[in-house]
Structure 1
Amino acid sequence: MRKGIIGDILHGEAAYIHDLRYQMKMKTGEGVWRPYHLAKRNGNLYPTHGLGPVAQYMNLARTDDQFNTIISYSTPAIGRNKYAKKISQRKTYGINRF
């Protein structure tokens, strides 16, 4: 890509999708803190995870082109909320809000 063999990159888009529903049932380890963050925060907790490869393809942060701002948007966690209600009656960080 950097050699321009396939042309110029005009747009880059990235995502990182990781199904962590199993952690909503955990009582120890990451299942304790991660659902709390999912319930209390909106947007992507780690936006550069999916963006990193695209940034490398586009040579960002290697030349004069660089990130000035990163903005992360999110939609309501409707599916996760339904799943939380379905799997548990207990009160935990990730479920007590639902």
Structure 2
Amino acid sequence: MAFKDMVEQDQRLVILRSLADVNGTANDSILNKMLDAYGHKISRQQVKTHLYWLEEQGLLTLDTVLSTDVATITDRGYDVAQGRARVPGVGQPRPGA
């Protein structure tokens, strides 16, 4: 697997785990800050691209308020964040993490 693919998979996992940690809902700006905290310094547009991809996979839903995307994790997304389900394109948490 290419390094770029591994990084993108981890970014998507960080988004899902962040949503799970904040009671399921956050906007793209907060998620961008969470990614920064985990060492992923990416643009807000890249965050939005991940959010749209995760929505297509049924792992979260998106609502747009003004120009801000608000993500809400789905049950399936929560299972992936916790390592109970696997979706190609999303990293897996370490056992016990």
Q: TM-score, normalised by structure 2?
A: 0.30
- Decide which structure has greater strand share: 2
Bigger Rg, which one: 1
- Decide which structure has greater helix share: 2
